[in-house]
Structure 1
Amino acid sequence: MWYDKLMLNIIDTVIFDLDQTLLDKTQSLVNFANYQYEQYSLDKFIPDRNEFIVKFSELNHMIMPKEEVYRKLIEFFKIDWNLYHELLADLNHKFHLYCVGYDGLREMLRTLKREGYKLGIVTNGRDFYQRNKISALGIHGYFTDIVTSGSVNIKKPDHAIFQIALKHLKSIGRCTVFVGDSIQADIIPAKELGMFTILKTKDASSMLPDAICDDLMEIPNIIKSIGSN
Structure 2
Amino acid sequence: MNKIETVIFDLDQTLLDKHESLILFANHQYEAFSLVSCNNVSREFFIEKFVELNHAVRPKEEVYEELIAFFQIESALFPAMLEDLNHNFHEFVIGYPGLVDMLHALKTAGYKIGMITNGRAFYQLSKIKSLGIEGYFDDIIISGAVGMRKPDPAIFQLALANLEASAERTVFVGDNVKADIVPSKQMGMRTVLKSKIAHNEYADEICNDLFELPSIIAKLA
Tell me the TM-score normalised to structure 2 length: 0.98
2:41 and 2:71 in contact (8 A); partners too: no
The equivalent of 1:36 in structure 2 is: 29
SS for the counterpart of 2:172 is: strand
**Deviations along 1:75-129, whole A, 9 cap, x unmatched?**
0000000000000000000000000000000000000000000001000000010
**Cα drift, residue 63 of structure 1:** 1.2
1:159 aligns with 2:153: yes
What CA distance in whole angstroms lies between the structure 1 residues aligned with 2:15 and 2:27? 22
1:206 aligns with 2:215: no
**Cα drift, residue 10 of structure 1:** 1.2
**Cα drift, residue 208 of structure 1:** 2.0
The equivalent of 1:53 in structure 2 is: 47
Structure 2 alignment gaps of length 5 or more = none
The equivalent of 2:67 in structure 1 is: 73
Equivalent positions of 1:43-122 (< 5 A) are 43-45=36-38, 46-122=40-116
**Deviations along 1:1-53, whole A, 9 cap, x unmatched?**
xxxxxxx6111100000000000000000000000000010111243101000
| CA RMSD, Structure 1 to Structure 2 (Å) | 0.8
What CA distance in whole angstroms lies between the structure 1 residues aligned with 2:57 and 2:14? 17
Structure 1 alignment gaps of length 5 or more = 1-7
Structure 2 counterpart of 1:57, which letter?
Answer: V
The percent identity for this pair of structures is: 55
Structure 2 counterpart of 1:176, which letter?
Answer: T
Moved over 3 A (4+): none
What CA distance in whole angstroms lies between the structure 2 residues aligned with 1:12 and 1:77? 50
1:20 aligns with 2:13: yes
Structure 2 counterpart of 1:73, which letter?
Answer: L
Equivalent positions of 1:115-194 (< 5 A) are 115-194=109-188
